[in-house]
Amino acid sequence: MSATTLAVVEQISYEDAETIILKYEWLQTMPRITRACYGLRIGDELLGVAIFGMSTSSEAHAICGQDYAAQSICLARGACVPHAPANAASFLIRHACKQACREFGWQVFFAYSDPDAGEVGTVYQAVGWKYIGNGNGRVAESFHVDWKSPDGTRTITSNKLNHDREKKFFRSLGWTELKGDPRAYIQHLGWKPIRRPGKGRYIWFEGTRTEKAELAARCRYQFLSYPKRGNVATRTDDAGAGTQLLAIY
């Protein structure tokens, strides 16, 4: 492969995006509500995907107030194959957002970095996204609580419990509504709460220079210094074989 390679970012099908996400993305699941998928191709090979979706929280889309909620979208999933060029992830994000703005009218983009995946948002920092802290900027969302079984062999995430509307997990352990708070019940059974840091949140604005400035002024959150990697093992957000990309428009 040459030192400089021509690449194209374009809309792709849900099915094509799924082939990358299910194999290479941390969660290995597609978003619950997918709105658009973009892929990075060199020749006929699909090297990475970026998926935009709707958050189940209306508050998450109100970064610049409810007036701009319809123009806000979540970069919900993204992944590149291991042999993708060195700047593949940042290249894909940058051009996918530009195209999504032109094709769908989205101007406020947000995404999360997951400490459980060893992420601090390196790829978002590389393309100049703004960091606004953990969760949606509220203290209550700066951490979450997972639960570990008494024998230490099983962990249930807060995300799974929050989306378990029928409380199937708690019921599988003998809980009923008559037994009160379900989390207090499993703690009584010996399950241990594990407090984990919340996901870091990044935002990006698309449009003209004037539009970007107005959106930044309307943002409800303070722009913070980028978090840095600690002493824990972390994965690389924008790694690859060392080839640099040039765009085909």
Q: What is the pLDDT of residues 5-17, one digit of tens each?
A: 689 999 999 999 9
- Coil, helix or strand for 192? strand
Q: Tell me how many helices (H) and strands (E) the chain has.
A: 7, 11
Instruction: Tell whether the model's pLDDT for residue 231 goes beyond 50.
Output: no
pTM value is 0.73
Residue 161: pLDDT band (50, 70, 90) is confident
| 39 and 135 co-located in one domain | yes
| 151 and 136 co-located in one domain | no
Q: End-to-end CA distance of the chain, in Å?
A: 21
DSSP letter assigned to residue 224: B
Task: Count other Cβ atoms within 10 Å, centred on residue 184.
Answer: 10
Question: Phi, psi (5° rounding) for residue 207?
Answer: 135, -165
- Higher-scoring residue by pLDDT: 245, 63: 63
Instruction: Tell whether the model's pLDDT for residue 102 goes beyond 90.
Output: yes
| 57 and 165 co-located in one domain | no
Amino acid in position 209? R
Range of the domain at 190: 143-195
| 85 and 23 co-located in one domain | yes
| 119 and 147 co-located in one domain | no
Which CATH number characterizes residue 9's domain? 3.40.630.30
Q: What is the pLDDT of residues 3-58, one digit of tens each?
A: 566 899 999 999 999 999 999 998 888 998 999 999 999 999 999 999 999 987 77
- Higher-scoring residue by pLDDT: 136, 176: 176
The total number of structural domains that make up the chain: 2
114's tokens: 């997951």
| 136 and 147 co-located in one domain | no
| 10 and 44 co-located in one domain | yes
What span, in angstroms and rounded, lies between the C-alpha atoms of 4 and 24?
25
58's tokens: 């209306």
| 207 and 170 co-located in one domain | no
